[in-house]
Structure 1
Amino acid sequence: MFSKISGLVLVGLTLLAGCSDNSVQPTSSNAASEDISPTNQIQVGKDYHSLSNPEQVKVSHIDLDLTVDFEQKVMSGYAELTFDKKDPDATSLIVDTRDLTINSVTANGQKIDFELQKADDFLGAALEIPLPDKGNKVKINYATSPQASGVQWLTPAQTAGKKYPFLFTQAQAIHARSFIPLQDSPQVRVTYKATIRTPKELLAVMSASNDPNTERDGVYEFNMPQPIPSYLIALGVGDLHFKAMGERTGVYAEPSILDAAAAEFEDTESMLIATEKLYGPYRWDRYDLLILPPSFPFGGMENPRLSFITPTVIAGDKSLVSLIAHELAHSWSGNTVTNATWRDLWLNEGFTTYLTYRIMENVYGKDRYNQEAVLGYQSLEADVANLTGKDQILAIDLRGRDPDDVFSDIPYEKGALFLREVEQKIGRDNMDAFLMEYFQHFKFQSITTDEFLAYFKKHVVASYPDKLDMDRINQWIFQPGVPEGAPMPESDAFSIVDNARSNWLSGELHANQIDTKNWTVHQWLYFLNNMPEELSMEQLHDLDRAFNLTESHNNEIAHSWLLIAVKNWYQPAFPRLHDYLVSIGRNKLVKPLYKELSKTVEGKAIAKKAFDEAKAGYHPLTVKANQGFVE
């Protein structure tokens, strides 16, 4: 899902990476082909975050017809579910819901009884529907709640244009159930068609077929012919306009930012072509971007055909476009081959982060690849230092936990580092050949860690017995931390930054004597992220006078500097800090600031003032993630 770059790396969904007290450990080097967990531990392949019953009755297609009501902040209409009966003895279809009003359920034109069970705190409520006597479809007439966890409603004042309202959905990990009654599990893949009815002056777009030349008439029809998991169903509605960036790529955005977005991301087509050469055909027809308002809680979301993107990466110099590479890479790892449960998230994010680095190297060169890899490794080191051992495991156990409540770089950067080690041992050409075959073999399937390991053992380990062994691989996936001897990225571009920082800290140089005219954004981030925890007021003033860091227009650099300012109580930066917190809803950028502010009484007061002002425009996930810091 989501991408990141600050301290730094790209993380595209940045969503899950913790585990409960019952972590899964391998019992032998044959874990890939065996049940690796004791019977009293996790059941491999079981989705503990869905109340549905796909093993008995599995939904295969959804027909949606929804009307968007901005005044009431609800969507209403129906979802007609086509299902396959897997168990001949099954008598009911069970789907996931959260805060939905179920008005009726019909089959073959007749109303049928249904039972909406008691809601779980974070899983929602199971909707049980008796199977009809004939046919394989049921139609659920329903309405969403204004508080739907997967939907954000923005007033005109909260948009770039200030004239029209805006709506967007965010379904990962388990929020699709808040706007569609469905089997909300990544192992249930569906095709879908949708009719979305909106005010005539607005345009609707979805993670499906979008016609850039569609008439703006308030009724929009969509088709997603490839089977996708529920968390990739997405909708955006607003004053959206389109600009092409290439034959298969373009950008949707509000008019005021459309040109800037298209210029910033104009290399998207080149990224797409480069990825196809490395890993096989792009299977989704078009690849477009939707630029959301700043309240979007993530860097990006890899909704197929239409990635949702934060405007915070429009820096004017393409310095943060690795986020686009990350979301594009998900078209292979994540969308085409998907984690079957949230325990297996690293199969999405680790592979995607590895592909991201390879795409960036191919399009922008090895120097940039090296710089971003070093920043990613440092971000991983920081998470390993701050997490308990069980939270450092790739195949994590999330039973009994809300997947929104845990986040780290483990599935992203540790997963990518594992693949980089494999690449170094078997050779890059062999690694690329394996990945192309892997994406082809499992295309449009959702798989578990165990299924991947069985395939990997048969097709890779068996081919390189002198270079790879399952004990080492199991250590990567089922043990905490980073294995000793793992690859350590290096960048020559950072040595001059280290020297400059060292000379400045020792007093040999004033900040204005540091030659930064050729520094990249990544060098600036490396410079700031590796500062000591404590700096003097004189040092902070020196940096700010020389480089005007408080007023930086690059959101990543501003984030790193503002974090330094809070840690050292550099008050000249506090007005910008307030403006930053109330104007950006991207959780990766605001949460560390709220967390640091909450450590002191004075800081908590600053945090509360900003949070109270910004809360109405924050996404529900950002509110939930930061509420505790201001209470």
Structure 2
Amino acid sequence: VMSGERLSGEKGRATANGNRVYEFRMNNPVPPYLIALAVGDLAFKATGKRSGVWSEPSMLDAAAYEVGDVEKMIDAAQALYGPYRWGRYDMLVLPPSFPFGGMENPTLTFLTPTIITGDRSNTDVVAHELAHSWSGNLVTNATWSDSWLNEGFTTYFENRIMEAVYGKERAALYADLDWDGLQKDLKEAANGPTTRLHGDPGATAGQLDYFKGSTMLRTIERTVGRKRFDAYMRSYFDRHAFQPQTSAGFLADIRKRLIRGDKALEARLQLDRWVYQPGLPSNAVHVTSATLAKVDAQLAAVKAGGPVSAVKTAGWSTQQWLRFLNGLPRQQMPERLKELDEGLGLSESTNAYVRSAWAELAIANRYEPALPS
């Protein structure tokens, strides 16, 4: 399979010498980093009229279920910021031996198998890679000094897709987690030069391109109003389709098309401060999640010495589990670790993210009963 239109079907074209030829076509201009090829024992299942998933045959049904909302996501994305210009949107779930995040290759997103948890709680990864079909693949950062134009825009757009498909609270959960990630990156970099959006290629602290960039756009949205901002964003993608973009180019465009000489609005937005200065501007919008607040309350009770048996985890998503497990003190007594493991079924979890978080805690405390799992 490849990042392009399939010209020879799912099984390729047979040749006279017994080989098979696979042909692909990409009519849209793309930068080289978006050209991808995958070879393996792969099967395909449609998830809609313009989408489907490839994976190893043993994973296919589970993968198709996990990404089953992708058609709703495409509809939501188009309603927000204009037509999907790439024809099909297919996904390839990578094998467990290659859990390599997500990659937005046009027409063929690569997805880590760790998102297959059976509850669709990690479909934000799908929404993110889909959103790149506009921010990144359609309008691409001209240099890696401006990678936030890809990732910050996409993280914001991803959250809007999640809100449209799953509701405001689920979107708030992801936005709140991104805020936490932003605060962590700012703290670790001591609000230094690597916390600028426009900076040295590859030198941006942590995932700041994603978190600070999306927070900037959310702040603009809140300041000017969603309807006005959405109209600008849709126009932006239309006017700059299949073109590279820079930070200076974006700032010039938003000043011309959205701010339009309004000096008071210019001062409120602090655009240059966001893009060219380190740290976080004073107008940053923090979205809070009631769902995470409830997890935090249970976490506080456990940290205060309360019984693990009192923790109510029914219906928890991956993000709620991680909020709880990663919030526990890193130093734990063996008895407490045993209570956590047996009470919450951590060693038996089939969720890769939960198992990983539990392993980090167990290994940090040399808790050997967790090793067999």
**TM bracket (short chain):** over 0.9
Q: Residues of 1 paired with 2:153 and 2:83: CA distance?
A: 17
Correspondence for 1:446 among 244, 247, 261: 244
Q: Does 1:515 align with 2:312?
A: yes
Q: Does 1:531 align with 2:328?
A: yes
The alpha carbon displacement at 1:515 in A equals 2.1
Matches within 5 A, 1:471-620: 472-507=270-305, 509-576=306-373
Amino acid at match of 1:526: R
Tell me the alpha carbon deviations over residues 17-41 of structure 1, each in whole angstroms, 9 at most, x when there is no partner: xxxxxxxxxxxxxxxxxxxxxxxxx
SS in 2 for 1:460: helix
Query: RMSD of the TM alignment (CA)?
Result: 1.9
Query: Residue 75 of structure 2 corresponds to which residue in structure 1?
Result: 273
Query: Residue 106 of structure 2 corresponds to which residue in structure 1?
Result: 304
Contact 2:269 2:283 in 1 (8 A): no
Q: Residues of 2 paired with 1:469 and 1:224: CA distance?
A: 43
C-alpha distance 269-463 of structure 1, shift in aligned 2 (>3 A): farther
Tell me the alpha carbon deviations over residues 44-70 of structure 1, each in whole angstroms, 9 at most, x when there is no partner: xxxxxxxxxxxxxxxxxxxxxxxxxxx
Contact 1:374 1:491 in 2 (8 A): yes
Query: Residue 396 of structure 1 corresponds to which residue in structure 2?
Result: 199
Query: Residue 17 of structure 2 corresponds to which residue in structure 1?
Result: none
Query: Residue 612 of structure 1 corresponds to which residue in structure 2?
Result: none
C-alpha distance 383-407 of structure 1, shift in aligned 2 (>3 A): closer
Contact 1:461 1:470 in 2 (8 A): no
Matches within 5 A, 1:134-153: none
Amino acid at match of 2:304: S
Query: Residue 6 of structure 2 corresponds to which residue in structure 1?
Result: 210
Aligned positions, number: 366
Q: Does 1:383 align with 2:185?
A: yes
Query: Residue 208 of structure 2 corresponds to which residue in structure 1?
Result: 410
Q: Residues of 2 paired with 1:323 and 1:558: CA distance?
A: 19
Question: Which protein has the larger Cα radius of gyration, Structure 1 or Structure 2?
Answer: 1
SS in 2 for 1:533: coil
SS in 2 for 1:467: helix
Q: Could you say which structure has the higher strand fraction? A: 1
Q: Residues of 2 paired with 1:211 and 1:268: CA distance?
A: 23
Amino acid at match of 1:293: P
Correspondence for 1:286 among 78, 88, 94: 88
Query: Residue 116 of structure 2 corresponds to which residue in structure 1?
Result: 314
Q: Residues of 2 paired with 1:464 and 1:362: CA distance?
A: 31
Q: Could you say which structure has the higher helix fraction? A: 2
SS in 2 for 1:320: coil
Contact 1:241 1:258 in 2 (8 A): yes
Q: Which ranges in structure 1 are unaligned for 5 or more consecutive residues?
A: 1-204, 577-631
TM-score (norm 1): 0.56
The alpha carbon displacement at 1:461 in A equals 2.1
Contact 2:7 2:25 in 1 (8 A): no
Q: Residues of 2 paired with 1:245 and 1:340: CA distance?
A: 34
**Larger relative contact order (Cα-Cα within 8 Å, sequence gap ≥ 6):** 1
C-alpha distance 214-298 of structure 1, shift in aligned 2 (>3 A): closer
Matches within 5 A, 1:60-459: 205-210=1-6, 213-216=9-12, 217=14, 218-296=20-98, 298-388=100-190, 389-398=192-201, 403=202, 408-459=206-257
Tell me the alpha carbon deviations over residues 410-438 of structure 1, each in whole angstroms, 9 at most, x when there is no partner: 10011000000001001111111111000
SS in 1 for 2:221: helix
TM-score (norm 2): 0.93
The alpha carbon displacement at 1:514 in A equals 1.9
The alpha carbon displacement at 1:471 in A equals 7.5
Q: Residues of 2 paired with 1:215 and 1:381: CA distance?
A: 48
C-alpha distance 517-297 of structure 1, shift in aligned 2 (>3 A): closer
C-alpha distance 482-568 of structure 1, shift in aligned 2 (>3 A): farther
C-alpha distance 237-519 of structure 1, shift in aligned 2 (>3 A): closer
The alpha carbon displacement at 1:463 in A equals 6.2
Taking only the aligned residue pairs, the percentage that are identical comes to 46
The alpha carbon displacement at 1:526 in A equals 1.4
C-alpha distance 299-406 of structure 1, shift in aligned 2 (>3 A): same
The alpha carbon displacement at 1:496 in A equals 2.1
Compare 451-460 and 337-346 and name the one that shifted more: 451-460
SS in 1 for 2:270: helix
